[in-house]
Amino acid sequence: MTRYPSFPYIAPFAVFVGFLALHSVAPMPEFADQLVRLIVLTAVLVFFARPALDLRVTSLFASIGIGIAVFAIWIAPDLLSPAYRHSWLFENAITGTARSSLSDASRTKVAVLVMRSLRAIAIVPIVEELFWRAWLMRWLIAPDFQKVPLGAYAAMSFWGVAVLFASEHGAYWDVGLAAGIVYNWWMLRTKSVGDLILAHAVTNGCLCAYVIATGKWEYWL
């Protein structure tokens, strides 16, 4: 791994994106899909990403607060204006539409909801924070990213990662951009991957609870 220092940061994200692409062309039954994603991504994190993992948290309550704030940012536009998301800015050939990938039948299956939530809370924050803020924010400053400290600031790095993070979220690119800016700022402040993973996990946990409680399945793209 020392010959390829970027590998532990990139590999989990590559597998994560690979599953998204595979689902769009060859979808599996929902239960099997959720189970396979959960098992494979966990295995990749354990066996390949371990050298990059640092789950130490330096600002526990503040990171939880940041996570809740990003959740509020995520749902606020649709609460304030229910038709907001149906603008051409958010529903078009490039961003797609705000439509859930979870079938109607699966929305009543407890096992599927549990696995979907577990992946969103325990796996996705690690995968994304390793890639976006632990690796790419530093790599854009210098390809020899290991010499760049966590939380180092450069305008191209900060805003480039925020925009790319937004593009990952399709029809929710606007709140994705806001979330990316907040998370990037929090990395600058804490210089801690563990704090970013915690904040991201809290955001996703709040969103999962909100989706299941309100039936706003469109948030689960």
pTM above 0.85, yes or no: yes
Token code pair at residue 18: 């690979």
All structural domains of the chain with their residue ranges: 55-219
The pLDDT value given to residue 26: 81
Tell me what the mean pLDDT of segment 20-35 comes to.
88
* Segment 86-135, tens digit of pLDDT: 999 999 999 999 999 899 999 999 999 999 999 999 999 999 999 999 99
CB atoms closer than 10 angstroms to residue 58? 13
Instruction: Give the model's confidence band at 45: pLDDT under 50 very low, under 70 low, under 90 confident, else very high.
Output: very high
DSSP assigned state of 96: B
